[in-house]
Structure 1
Amino acid sequence: MIRCQWAEMNEQETDYHDTEWGVPEHDDRKLFEFLILEGAQAGLSWDTILKRRENYRKAFDGFDYMKISSYDESKVEEILQDKRVIRNRRKVLSAVSNAKAFIEVRNEYGSFDSYLRTFLPDGKPIQNFWKSMSEIPASTVLSEKISKDMKKRGFSFVGPTIIYAFMQAVGMVNDHVVDCFRHEECMNMK
C-alpha cells in the first residue's frame, strides 16, 4: 500500500495519516483541537505533538473551548507545570485567547466550520494533485488570507504556515500525493 512518505516514520503517524489527515472535519470541537495542536507544533515536529496529543486532551479539558476561554492564571500555571505537554507560556496563553476568538466566530457564523467554509470555492475542499511531497507548499495565498482574517479576529499562533498545516489536517485541502491510497478516498469526501 502506497501512502504519503511522511506517514511512514512510525505507527502513530501512519495511523493518523490513514484515518484522520486530510479528512474533511466539520465538528467544531475537533476543529478547535487541531487549531490548538497546530499552534503548539510551531517550531517543532508534528510527531512531537502527536505523541502528546492525549496529554493535551487531558490538560486542556478535552479541548472544550468554553472551558478554556475561562481559564485563569492559576489554570495556565497548572498547565505550564505539566511535563506531558509543551510548556510554552505564549502557546498556552494563545489557547485561551483563541478559545475566546473561536467563540466569537461561532457566534457570528453559527459554527467555526461555517466560517472556514466561506474561504473555500463553493464551500468544498480544494483538490490538489501533487506527484511528490516536494511539490506541496508550506503556505498558500489562501492560507495567508485566512491567517490575516483570523489575526484580525484576535487569534494567535495562526501564521500562514500553521494555517496551511491546519487546512491539510482538517481536509480543507487534499494534499495526499496522487499515488497515496488516501488521495482518491479523500477526493470523494465533503
Structure 2
Amino acid sequence: MPPTPARPSPSSLAIALGANLGDPVATFAAVRPRLEEELGAWAAAPLQLSWSPRFRTQPVGGPPGQPPYLNAVLLAWKGSAHGPDGAWPDPLLLLVRLLALEATFGRERRERWGPRRLDLDLLWCGAMASRGPQLVLPHPRLGERAFVLAPLAAIDPDLPLPLAAALTPRTAAAGLAALPRAALEPPPLALAGEPGWPEGP
C-alpha cells in the first residue's frame, strides 16, 4: 500500500467513484487506468495515489427500486508524505475531464440521484473552496454519505475531512461513526480485491 498522505489534507484531493448500471465491476476496472491518466495529465506533476477497496452500498435518495451501488475513492497528493508540493491546477479543468470520462462510459443525466453507469465526484481539491454553479468544493454532502466515508476510512481512518465538509474537524472514521444508524443500514460492504482492483478489506 502507498504511504499515507500528509495531514491535514490541503495537499491532497479525493475523487469518489460510483456505478449501479451495466457491469459496475468491469466499469471500475476499465476506468481506473483512464482516471489515473487524466488526473496525471491535469496535474502535470508526479502524483502519489491511494485507491480504496470497492464497497457495495445501498442507493441514497433518487427513485425507488435502484440496484445496489459499487463505490470507491481515489486519494491523490503531490510531493512527499511529509508535506505539499505546490498548488493544484484549476479544479474546473479536472471536472471537465471527469465529465468526459463519465460520458465515455455511458453516463446519462436524466434525474437527480438516479441510477448511473459511472459517477465521478470531486470531493475536495487541496484547500480550494468553490461555490460556483458548476462545482462546489468541498463536496457539500461529503460528511453525510457512508458510501464516501467508508472508502475514505478504509484508505486512512485518521484522514481529516475538509473543515467545510463538517461542522467540526473530524476524521473519516469519526465521520462514519457519527452518521445516524439509518444511514448505515445495511452498512457498506467492502469487497475482496481481484485482478483490476487489488485493494480489499
Report the TM range for the smaller structure's normalisation. Answer: 0.3 to 0.5
- TM-score, structure 2 normalization: 0.32
- TM-score, structure 1 normalization: 0.33
Larger relative contact order, structure 1 or 2 (CA cutoff 8 Å, min sep 6): 1
